[in-house]
Every structure is written in C-alpha cells, then in structure tokens.
Amino acid sequence: MVSVTTLFIALTYAYLMRQHNVVVNESGERIGPWLQLTLPPLLMVNTWILLFSSVTLERARRNLRRQVLFAPIAEIPGIKAEKSPSFPWLAATLILAIGFLAGQFAAWRTMQHEGFYLSSNPSSAFFYLLTGAHAFHLSVGILVLLYAAASHFVARTLETRCLIVDVTSWYWHFMGVLWIYIYALLYFAH
C-alpha cells in the first residue's frame, strides 16, 4: 500500500504541475493544451458501487471474526454456535468489484465518444492514467478476493481464513479510499 500511495502521490504532482503549465501570450492571456474534462456521471455510480463493496467485504470480515471468537464455545456440549456465513458476502463483494471495473470501461468508452482519447490532450491522458492505474490495482485486489473466497473451500483453519480476509479487506478499503481521492482530484482540481 505504501508503494501504491507513492505512485499516486507522484501522479498527483505530475497532474497538478502539467495542468498549470501554460504559456502566456503577448496580450497576457493564458494559452495551453489543457482542456476542461467533464467527468461522466457513471463515475459517481461506480464510486457508490465500490463503497458498497467495502461494506459487503466488511460484513464478511466481521462474520469470520465472530466465528473465530465463538469457536471455543461451540465445542461445549449443549451450546450451539451461531453460524454467520462470510462466503455470500465475499461473493457479493466480487460481483460488485467486477461491476465497478465494467463501469470504468463504460466510462472510458463514454469519454472516447465525447472525443477525449488517451492522446487527445494532457487532461484526458491523465484521466486515463489515473483511472487506469487504479483499475489495475483494483484488479489485483479482485484476484486476492478470489483467493479469499476460495479459501473457504480449501482445507484451511478458521483462523487462517480470517487472516486472509482481514488482509484482503485492508487492501480493498485502501482501494476505496484511493478511488475517492482520484475522483475528487479529477472533479475539483480542473
């Protein structure tokens, strides 16, 4: 997460420096290749999808923690342990994650239909760079989510499954916060 943070700090710096790199002509007006981008409304929908996926992952994590906490009690005769399934919540998180990526591809397509291509101008290039780098790192998170979901079907201890989901949730929540940062940067720093 430190290296991803460093990457996006560097990209933010480059974005802000490039945005303000303009030329002033002899009449004093600022000219430059930076074009104002209007973000597709679908990006806000994608934001809500990603935030909701953090909620479902947190539900899976808490259910597993509860199972680990009450596992010793379940072995006492006459006490029935409460089952709090975590796999359905992990599956929901995966579905939402894939929905987020599909929404990102749709948003990129919308931008292309509006004439903003990767090589059109610096503002559109940074849009694709920032959102694409996030999508790549989120794809890595999806692979880890798949591993966490598969750990429910492999002979793993409950504590190991809980640890896998804990670590996965740290990364996933980080990706959610990072996306909010990227969206705010693109929306407000234009």
| Cα–Cα distance measured from residue 17 to residue 40, given in angstroms and rounded to the nearest whole number | 24
pLDDT of residue 17: 87
pLDDT of residue 158: 83
| Cβ atoms < 10 Å from Cβ of 117 | 13
| Cα–Cα distance measured from residue 149 to residue 164, given in angstroms and rounded to the nearest whole number | 9
Helix (H) / strand (E) containing 23 = strand 23-24
pLDDT of residue 110: 94
pLDDT of residue 78: 63
Angle at 130 between CA 128 and CA 131, to 5 degrees: 65
Task: Provide the residue type at 33 as one letter.
Answer: P
Evaluate the CA torsion angle 111, 113, 118, 124 in order and state its sign.
negative
Q: Which CATH architecture has domain 36-188?
A: Up-down Bundle (1.20)
Angle at 47 between CA 44 and CA 53, to 5 degrees: 150
Q: Which residues of the chain have pLDDT under 50?
A: none
Condensed to tens digits (0 to 9), the pLDDT of residues 86-97 reads: 788 999 999 999
Per-domain boundaries in the chain: 36-188
| Cα–Cα distance measured from residue 181 to residue 64, given in angstroms and rounded to the nearest whole number | 29
pLDDT of residue 116: 84
- Chain centre distance of CA 59: 17
Condensed to tens digits (0 to 9), the pLDDT of residues 107-120 reads: 999 999 988 887 77
